[in-house]
Amino acid sequence: MRNEIANFKDCKSIAIMGGTFDPIHNGHLVTAEAVRHRFKVDRVVFIPTGRPAHKLNKKVTHNEHRYLMTVLATMRNENFEVSRIEIDRPGATYTIDTIEELKKICRPDVRLYFITGADAINQIMSWKQPERLLTLCDFVAVTRPGYDKARLFEDIGEIREKYASRIHFMEVPALAISSSDIREREQKGEPIKYLLPQEVEDYIHKFGLYQDDATEEVKFMLPISTMQEKLQSAISVKRYIHTMGVAEEAVKLAEIYGTAQDQQKARVAGLLHDCAKDYPESMRLRFCKEYKVKTDEIMNKQTDLIHPFLGAEVAKREYQVLDEDVLNAIRFHTTGRPNMSLLEKIVFIADYIEPNREKFGGLDEARRLAYLDLDKAMVYILENTIEYVKARGRLLHPLSLEALEYYKNL
């Protein structure tokens, strides 16, 4: 927000280009530049939506992907800015909230132009606080050439009569490009080149966005809701709050780095990662013997290192989880190990940065790295964890040192 204040505080006029940008394409950019030129605005600010109120039940690509694609698409135009206002705001996204927030950032006499599709104009009165919205900003309704504007004028006659000076129309040829068409073409393996900036195309291919991930769901013997109820009675309230935070964080990371399958696995692994954590020491040792969980000298001397290895077996026997990747993510979430799977890294990192953690040195940096590069986050977290363990004179498991050496050498 600080950067946005710096960028907008001296602007006399701003055009707002909102949208899911899933993905952003050349039609958006051509439209933004055309509006900038016609209305002589100081800046065009692109605002990727957080949770669009009209798309709450529709699948939308993760916020960070859409934000970063928008940054890549606009970085060559000094008159374009990208804002996180809606992405960082919790709950459903409404235009009126965004406009009011921008008004607080900008100078009191700023003039705001909200760019939207012509089809949306006749729906304005169904938006949240429509009359207040129409007094706070101008609307620029963009249309494709050949669009039946006469019919549109009839549909919005009541609005124009009262707010005539607040609604403007523009024809933009490039609007024939659509995000849904780009997603469909990418799924089919058809070319999307020249429909969007090269940087955005490269980003889509790098992260495998819009691939058809309609693979079968991971089948667990127990419903996740049943696992959750069973777990709630097996651990303390404090542990349960932490566990739910890890599951939530793991799913977020899996949304960015993985597939729909990975998100399911991440939820279960995050949910069960500490399922044996609250067992008394005597119970841990008894279950290790009963479940044939191998322990080494370090684990026997420092029994709190047993819980992830025992937890994997508990997840298998008591929660009927048979997926080996999920079990390994539970097994190595404390020590780490060399060459971890994507899911193992996600749960290891999520355990460290989950949102319910009390603030400690290095937490913010770990969270920042987690959303940039998982391997760099692994190095940072392992270094801090090893330093923490040594400073308190506790025993360090060799797997952590091996993991650190491995990820440092990548």
pLDDT digits (tens, 9 = 90+) for 348-371: 999 999 999 988 999 999 999 999
The last residue of one of the domains, among 207, 242, 272, is 207
Q: Which residues of 128-156 are buried (b: 16+ CB within 10 A; e: fewer)?
A: eebeebbebbbbbbbbeeebeeeebeeeb
Alpha-carbon Rg of the chain, whole angstroms? 26
Task: Judge if 126 and 12 occupy the same domain.
Answer: yes
**3-class state of residue 115 by DSSP:** strand
Domain count, the chain: 2
For the chain, what is the largest distance between any 2 Cα atoms, rounded to a whole number of angstroms? 82
The rounded distance, in Å, linking the Cα atoms of 219 and 228 is: 16
209 pLDDT exceeds 80?
Answer: yes
Among 248, 260, 320, 247, which Cα is nearest to 61's? 260
Tell whether 120 is covered by a domain.
yes
82 and 139 fall within a common domain = yes
Lowest mean pLDDT among 50-64, 184-198, 233-247: 50-64
Q: Are residues 13 and 124 in the same domain?
A: yes
The predicted-structure confidence for 106-138, as pLDDT tens digits, reads as follows 999 999 999 998 777 777 877 889 889 989 999
Cα distance between residue 88 and residue 35, in whole Å: 26
Distances (CA, A) of 53 to 92, 96, 104, 389: 5, 12, 22, 46
Q: Please report the pLDDT score of residue 52 as a whole number.
A: 65
Q: Cis ω on the peptide bond leading into residue 280 (within 30° of 0)?
A: no
- Using an 8 Å Cβ cutoff, are 30 and 128 in contact? no
Last residue of a domain, one of 178, 207, 236: 207
Q: CA-CA distance, 399 to 268, in Å (whole number)? A: 24
If asked whether residues 228 and 101 sit together in one domain, one would say no
Segment 10-38 shows an average pLDDT of: 95
CA–CA dist 348, 345 (Å, integer): 5
Q: What is the pLDDT of residue 62?
A: 84
Q: Does residue 360 lie in a domain region?
A: yes
pLDDT attached to residue 315: 95
pLDDT at 172: 84
Q: What is the 3-state secondary structure (H, E, C) of 229-274?
A: HHHHCCCCHHHHHHHHHHHHHHHHHHHHHCCHHHHHHHHHHHHHCC
Q: Show the DSSP H helices in 123-257 as ranges.
A: 130-136, 149-155, 157-163, 179-188, 198-207, 224-232, 237-257
Angle at 156 between CA 154 and CA 157, to 5 degrees: 65
Residues 187 and 308 in one domain: no
* 235 and 168 both lie in a single domain: no
| Whether residue 189 is found in the same domain as residue 266 | no
CB 351 within 8 A of CB 382: no
Question: Does 53 map to a domain?
Answer: yes
256 within domain boundaries: yes
Burial class (CB in 10 A: 0-12, 13-18, 19+), 401: middle
Is pLDDT larger for residue 300 or for residue 382?
382
So what's the pLDDT on residue 47? 96
Q: Could you say which of 156, 173, 207 is where a domain stops?
A: 207
Assign 1 a pLDDT band (cuts: 50, 70, 90): very low
- Same domain membership, residue 103 and residue 32: yes
In a domain, 212, yes or no: no
CATH code of the domain containing 22: 3.40.50.620
pLDDT value at 265 more than 90: yes
What range defines the domain where residue 252 resides?
224-408
Q: How many C-alpha atoms does 399 have within 13 Å on its Cβ side? A: 16
Residue 194 and residue 271 in one domain = no
- DSSP assignment of 43-72, as one string? EEEEEE-SSBGGGTTS----HHHHHHHHHH
Residue 299 pLDDT grade (very low, low, confident, very high; cuts 50, 70, 90): very high
Same-domain check for residues 41 and 180: yes
Residue 67 CA to residue 229 CA, distance in Å, equals 36
In a domain, 218, yes or no: no
Place of tokens 């209305």: 39
Same domain, 200 and 262: no
Whether 59 maps to a domain, the answer reads: yes
376 with 302, same domain: the answer is yes
CATH code, 266: 1.10.3210.10
Residue partners of 224: CB distance under 8 A and separation at least 6: 267, 268, 271
Q: What is the pLDDT of residue 4?
A: 54
Does residue 308 sit within a domain?
Answer: yes
Band of the pLDDT at 155, cuts 50, 70, 90?
low
Identify the pLDDT of residue 216.
Answer: 44
Poorest-pLDDT segment among 145-149, 188-192, 316-320:
145-149
- In contact, 72 and 197? CB cutoff 8 Å: yes
Which residue, among 368, 339, 338, 341, has the nearest Cα to 352 in the 3D structure? 368
Q: What is the mean pLDDT of the chain?
A: 88
The per-residue pLDDT for range 25-56, each reduced to its tens digit, is 999 999 999 999 999 999 999 999 987 665 55
